[in-house]
Amino acid sequence: MTAPDDYSIELEELTLGYGERDIITGLNLSVRRGEILSLLGPSGCGKTTTLHAIAGLITPRKGKIIIDGIDQTNVPINKRNVGMVFQGYALFPHMTVFNNVSYGLRIKSVPKDEIHDRVTRALKLVGMEKFAHRKPKELSGGQQQRVAIARTMVMEPRVLLLDEPLSNLDAKLRQEIRDDLKRILRELSITSVFVTHDQEEAMFLSDRIVLMKDGEIAQMSTPRDIYNHPANAFAASFLGNTNFIPAKLLRQSADGSVCELNVIGMGRVMKGRATHSVDASQSLFLSIKNDRVNYTLDRLTFLELQGRAGVSTMECQVVDVHFLGHVSKIECRAGSQSMTVLRPSAMVSDDVVPGTTIYLYWPEEESLVLSA
Amino acid sequence: MKQRALFLSPALGFIALALFVPFAYLLFLSFMGEGYLYGEPTEATLDNYAEAFRNPVYWESIVNTFRIGALVTLATLVIGFPVAYIISVSGKTWAALLTVVTVLPLFVSVVVRGFGWIIVFGREGPLNSLLRWLGLIDEPMQVLYTESAVIIGLTHLLLPFMVLPVLASLRAIDKNIIDASMVLGSRKWDVFLHIIIPLCAPGFVVGSLLVFLHVLATFVLPAMLGSINIKMIATLIYQQVMIIGNVPAGAALAVILFVFTMLVFGLIAAIKAHLNFDAKPLQENEAA
Amino acid sequence: MKKLLSVLYVAFMCSPLLIVIGAAFEPQEILRFPPHGLSMKWFTRVLHDQAFLDAAYNSLIVASLAMLLSLLLGLLAAYALARGDGRSRETILGLLLSPLIIPELVIGLAILQMLTLMNIATDLVVLVLAHAVICLPYTVRLLFNGVSAINENLENASLVLGASRAGTIVRVTLPLMKNSIVAAALFAFLISFDNTVISLFLVDSSTMTLPITIYNYVEFSLDPAIAALSTILILLSCAAVGIISSVSGLDNVGPRK
């Protein structure tokens, strides 16, 4: 049981909004000391609003924001001592790197020698000490990000907040800077919360992911857990490539883990596993990840698989095959149901062409039953 | 921002005290009798307003001002549109030069500009010299202190107010529309007539209304170039207040001028909203 | 054809100004163009004339103070409008820009009557306040554009680093909007310096400004002295336009669109 002291940030019943609309209602969230947490979701889900509230850029309508055990809800931005790296880094264009990093210290009237020491140390930490006298416009995106981090860290903040740290970079640069960022965050071992809409970024950088949709938390767990055990169809589709088969619940085992479902439109029953509670009255999905579906073109093998226990099967027609390098994507249809199969290209033969009949199969226990 | 009200109050307070309050007082005065400021007891009356329509001197000034307004508006339109068009199709340097020449006079005091025209229109002035040299006249013409001088002077003064809005309208025309039209087979003249001119309509309207309004309110230039011969509303107001001493009468005329100006600006806003030729596509959920 | 029309246009727009400049060099006491010679005597005379110098001094003081007042009020208002929430922004802007659409004649008359009512005599202070009224719309508009152009995240970054709002404005916002401030200042200065109509209602012999001096002078005599004075003013205006256009471009100029 983690004691309250182990939480850096606690959000209690937080309600946030602009104008007439409430974007977030009754949000509860606790961030552990030292962890890297990401707020992940599509645009409009409220992730940036939440981050801004922690920083103090927005005042909550209801609820509390507690940082290091102290209620900061009504404390103004400039007194909260949080560090924030903004989208686009927001380095002051009219100041040198050194003056950017020393800005917060100068405000506090810290003595000049101390400023020099602390700034130099911070710049060394991010590897930018040689650029102290350059102006921001002379730096690359990655360099600017490092200066922005130095600028926040020199103030010894309680937590570090980052708003879409990698979003305005092109793909190649993003890889490089992503690695850099993870290394720096680990070294600093400061509680960090960042906002992103990119699931790969979230999975790479975070200890835990908070998946958000329409102002609510859809699921909060480690990347691996969400990926393997998504709580609902939204989580499954956001984090990983999944096939969804609409179905209605027929029977459930005593412990609720094994379900039999009536597949809508196919007139057959398939089995799946439920890792989270399932609402029988609602429409459900039987889900199976694209890369967990196997196939055969041989009808005899298919008939034999159909008879085997613990195997789900489906007969489809190939619609298209896409070569993507080390994997290939096969799109198929069974009536109105589309399925996507992702397999290593070496294992996809040339016989798989549009129009071919293809027999899909996968282990029953890998089919997860999910609510919408 | 917490301090929003605090930051806004000085400016708003200043405008309220320095402009709105005095104007309210002016409005009040307009309903008073002539002797009000001299201590005579008086009650509220609409006489001053009625005078505007009854009194032939007033009426003549009003009609005269409107007439000169119409002529100047026409002149600025005739000169201004070609100029705006030329600027919009010219290369960078030439366009910049023409724009500077249009805008520069705005930064010079109206008395200096008026003075310039006084020299030009003098009996020995360049205009007369030029006309005589061209053989168009034998004797120097009396231009100064005539209506023509006022009209020319006002046209010069107010051209920027026509050129700039028309230029803005022209610049707002998406070049692709013109290209598309040519691809579809229109000739240059058709494009001009059926696409460019209609799409500039907002510019024409705004420019005309601005010029017209300025003529109504203009005072210094007609006084310098037309002297007492040219009767305009503004000179009338000045006379009533500063020379004759009938402030309520002047106030009423000023209020009439103000109301008319407000109506016209309301009209400009309405026209701009209505004539929105921006062809941006609707958002997905806005279209039917 | 276009070139011909353009040249005629340039000639038309510049002629009154060029003619004034030319007439200033006329050696004799006749107002004519082209001048029959080149003499600087009128310039000397103007620069030594006490009445002109007093008027110039008044105009300078009034314009400087009106500029400062309208800049200060305008900056605060523009910042609040750009950064504060958008409640009633349109209305407030409308109120602050209202002097643009009210005829100067009406403004001058109203202020004069108010002063008479309150038994206040006109002095330079009154003039400064009256001019500031018509300068304010220009400063508000230019400074609003200036503030809006600055990325709000820069200010947010400053706040998160511990600066106060005022400190942020001084350290981050103002340095980044230098161009807008210069343009707004010059506009305000010129509008006050050149102002004729409102001043006509408010000045008396002790608070004479340069444009009114010229206006009065012209009514009684026409000699090159006024041309010399006007030339100096024209050169000042050109300098100001040059600075404004290099600092912020001339796109913000002109009538409200």
pLDDT 10s digits, A15-25: 888 777 888 88
Record the tokens describing residue C84, joined without a space: 């504060």
Residue-wise pLDDT for A150-188, tens only, equals 999 999 998 999 999 887 777 777 888 888 888 888 888
Q: What is the pLDDT of residue B287?
A: 47
Q: What angle do CA A67, A72, A78 make, to 5 degrees?
A: 105
Measured CA distances, B119 to B98, B113, B225, C214 (Å): 24, 10, 10, 14
ipTM: 0.88
Phi, psi for residue A11 in degrees, rounded to 5: -110, 125
Where does the pLDDT of residue C86 fall: very low under 50, low under 70, confident under 90, or very high at 90 and above?
confident
How far is residue B260's CA from residue B272's CA, in Å, rounded to a whole number? 18
Q: Is residue B271 part of a domain?
A: no
Measured CA distances, A357 to A47, A243, A350, C11 (Å): 44, 19, 14, 83
Q: Is the model's pLDDT at B279 over the cut of 80?
A: no
Q: What is the pLDDT of residue A5?
A: 63
* Residues of B with Cβ-Cβ distance to C20 under 8 angstroms: 112, 115-116, 119
C106 CB near a chain B CB, below 8 Å?
A: yes
How far is residue C13's CA from residue C9's CA, in Å, rounded to a whole number? 6
Phi, psi for residue B217 in degrees, rounded to 5: -95, -5
CA count, 13 A, side-chain hemisphere, A344: 2
Q: Is the model's pLDDT at B286 over the cut of 60?
A: no
Task: Kindly report the nearest CA distance between residue A198 and chain C, in angstroms.
Answer: 22
Which of B8, B76, B101 is the best mutation test for C, with the most CBs of C within 10 A?
B8
Higher pLDDT, residue B123 or C79: C79
Residue-wise pLDDT for B121-178, tens only, equals 877 777 777 777 777 777 777 777 788 889 999 999 999 999 988 888 888 887 777 7
How far is residue C131's CA from residue B192's CA, in Å, rounded to a whole number? 44
* Residues of B with Cβ-Cβ distance to C186 under 8 angstroms: none
Q: What is the pLDDT of residue B170?
A: 85
* pTM for the model: 0.84
Residue C17 near residue B108 (C-beta atoms within 8 A):
yes
Where does the pLDDT of residue B282 fall: very low under 50, low under 70, confident under 90, or very high at 90 and above?
low
- What percentage of chain A reaches a pLDDT higher than 70? 98
How far is residue A143's CA from residue C201's CA, in Å, rounded to a whole number? 62
Residue-wise pLDDT for A116-134, tens only, equals 999 999 999 888 989 999 9
Q: Is the model's pLDDT at C154 over the cut of 90?
A: yes
Q: What is the pLDDT of residue B277?
A: 53
Contact flag B19-C110 (C-beta cutoff 8 Å): yes
Which of B111, B157, B159, B214 is the best mutation test for C, with the most CBs of C within 10 A?
B111
End-to-end CA separation in angstroms for chain C: 30
C158 CB near a chain A CB, below 8 Å?
A: yes
How far is residue B64's CA from residue B280's CA, in Å, rounded to a whole number? 44
Q: Is A255 helix (H, G, I), strand (E, B) or coil?
A: coil
C121 CB near a chain B CB, below 8 Å?
A: no
Q: Which of B209, B211, B212 is nearest to B66 (CA)?
A: B212
Chains adjacent to C (≥3 CB pairs closer than 8 angstroms): A, B
Residue type, A364: E
Which of C19, C76, C103 lies closest to B217 in CB terms?
A: C103
Total residues found in chain C within this entry: 257
- How remote is the C-alpha of C132 from its chain's centroid? 10
Residue A172 near residue A141 (C-beta atoms within 8 A):
no
Write out the H or E segment, with its range, that includes residue C64.
helix C50-83
Which of C16, C84, C250 lies closest to B4 in CB terms?
A: C84
A189: left (phi over 0), alpha (psi -120 to 50) or beta: left
* Residues of B with Cβ-Cβ distance to C85 under 8 angstroms: 1, 4
How far is residue A145's CA from residue A139's CA, in Å, rounded to a whole number? 10
Which of A56, A88, A104 lies closest to C161 in CB terms?
A: A104
DSSP A305-344: HHHSTTEEEEEEEEEEEEE-SSEEEEEEEETTEEEEEEEE
How far is residue A336's CA from residue A332's CA, in Å, rounded to a whole number? 10
Q: Is residue B277 part of a domain?
A: no
Residue B122 near residue C31 (C-beta atoms within 8 A):
yes
- C207-225 mean pLDDT: 87
* Residues of C with Cβ-Cβ distance to B114 under 8 angstroms: 218
B222: left (phi over 0), alpha (psi -120 to 50) or beta: alpha
Mean pLDDT for chain A? 87
Q: Is the model's pLDDT at A266 over the cut of 90?
A: no
* Residues of C with Cβ-Cβ distance to A94 under 8 angstroms: 175-176
* Residues of A with Cβ-Cβ distance to C154 under 8 angstroms: 90, 92-93
Contact flag A107-C161 (C-beta cutoff 8 Å): yes
Contact flag C19-B116 (C-beta cutoff 8 Å): yes
Record the tokens describing residue C4, joined without a space: 């011909």
C159 CB near a chain A CB, below 8 Å?
A: yes
Contact flag A93-C158 (C-beta cutoff 8 Å): no
Count the domains in chain B.
Answer: 1
C221 CB near a chain A CB, below 8 Å?
A: no
Which of C80, C190, C257 lies closest to B165 in CB terms?
A: C257
Residue-wise pLDDT for B53-106, tens only, equals 788 888 888 888 989 999 999 999 999 998 988 888 888 888 888 888 888 888
Residue type, C209: T
DSSP C181-246: HHHHHHHHHHHHHH--HHHHHH--GGG--HHHHHHHHHHH---HHHHHHHHHHHHHHHHHHHHHHH
Contact flag C105-B238 (C-beta cutoff 8 Å): yes
Mean pLDDT for chain C? 88
Residue A173 near residue A96 (C-beta atoms within 8 A):
no
* Residues of B with Cβ-Cβ distance to C237 under 8 angstroms: 104, 107-109
- Cβ within 8 Å of B, C 205-244: 210-211, 214-215, 218, 222, 226-227, 230, 233-234, 237-238, 240-241
Residue-wise pLDDT for A201-225, tens only, equals 899 999 999 999 888 888 999 999 9
| Shortest CA distance from C173: residue in chain A | A92
Which of C76, C101, C194 lies closest to B10 in CB terms?
A: C76
Which of B2, B19, B213 is the best mutation test for C, with the most CBs of C within 10 A?
B19
Q: What's the longest Cα–Cα distance across chain B?
A: 76
* Residues of C with Cβ-Cβ distance to A84 under 8 angstroms: 156-157, 160
C8 CB near a chain A CB, below 8 Å?
A: no
Q: In b/e form, how buried is each residue of B196-232, taking b as 16+ CB within 10 angstroms?
A: beebbebbbbbbbbbbbbbbbbbbbbbbbbbeeebbb
Q: Is the model's pLDDT at A259 over the cut of 70?
A: yes
Most confident stretch, A229-238, A245-254, A354-363, C63-72: C63-72
Contact flag C106-B250 (C-beta cutoff 8 Å): no
Chains adjacent to B (≥3 CB pairs closer than 8 angstroms): C
| Cis status of the peptide bond prior to C34, with omega within 30 of 0 | yes
Q: In b/e form, how buried is each residue of A8-36, taking b as 16+ CB within 10 angstroms?
A: bbbbbebbbbeeeeebbbebebbbebebb
Contact flag B101-C10 (C-beta cutoff 8 Å): yes
DSSP B232-247: -HHHHHHIIIIII--H
Q: Is the model's pLDDT at A295 over the cut of 70?
A: yes
Q: Is the model's pLDDT at C255 over the cut of 50?
A: no
Q: How many CB pairs under 8 A join B and C?
A: 263
CA dihedral A226, A229, A232, A235 (to 10 degrees): 30
Residue A7 near residue A30 (C-beta atoms within 8 A):
yes
Record the tokens describing residue A310, joined without a space: 């613990």
CA dihedral A351, A352, A355, A358 (to 10 degrees): 110
C133 CB near a chain B CB, below 8 Å?
A: yes
Where does the pLDDT of residue A1 fall: very low under 50, low under 70, confident under 90, or very high at 90 and above?
very low
Where residue B76 sits, what CATH number does that domain have?
1.10.3720.10
Axis crossing angle, helix C178-194 with helix C224-247, rounded to the nearest 10: 160
Q: In b/e form, how buried is each residue of C169-198, taking b as 16+ CB within 10 angstroms?
A: bebbbbebbebbbbbbbbbbbbbbbbbbbb
Residue B161 near residue B266 (C-beta atoms within 8 A):
no
Task: Kindly report the nearest CA distance between residue C4 and chain B, in angstroms.
Answer: 11
Domains and CATH numbers, chain A: 4-228 (3.40.50.300), 241-371 (2.40.50.100)
* Residue with the two structure tokens 């350290």: C171
Task: Kindly report the nearest CA distance between residue A17 and chain C, in angstroms.
Answer: 13
* Residues of A with Cβ-Cβ distance to C151 under 8 angstroms: 88, 90
H helix runs in chain B, sequence order: 4-15, 21-30, 47-54, 56-89, 92-103, 110-121, 126-133, 147-172, 175-183, 188-191, 197-217, 220-226, 233-238, 247-274
* Residues of C with Cβ-Cβ distance to A49 under 8 angstroms: none
* Residues of A with Cβ-Cβ distance to C160 under 8 angstroms: 55-57, 77-78, 80, 82-84, 152
| Shortest CA distance from A78: residue in chain C | C162
Residue C82 near residue B13 (C-beta atoms within 8 A):
no
The residue range of the domain holding B173 is: 66-230
Q: What is the pLDDT of residue C254?
A: 46
- Cβ within 8 Å of B, C 69-88: 72-74, 76-77, 79-81, 83-85
Q: Which of A180, A239, A190 is nearest to A67 (CA)?
A: A190
Residues 6+ apart with CB under 8 A from B44: B31, B32
Task: Kindly report the nearest CA distance between residue C31 and chain A, in angstroms.
Answer: 53
C206 CB near a chain A CB, below 8 Å?
A: no
How far is residue C210's CA from residue B246's CA, in Å, rounded to a whole number? 28
Record the tokens describing residue A273, joined without a space: 């596993």
Q: Is A232 helix (H, G, I), strand (E, B) or coil?
A: strand
C2-247 classified as CATH 3.30.1370.100? no
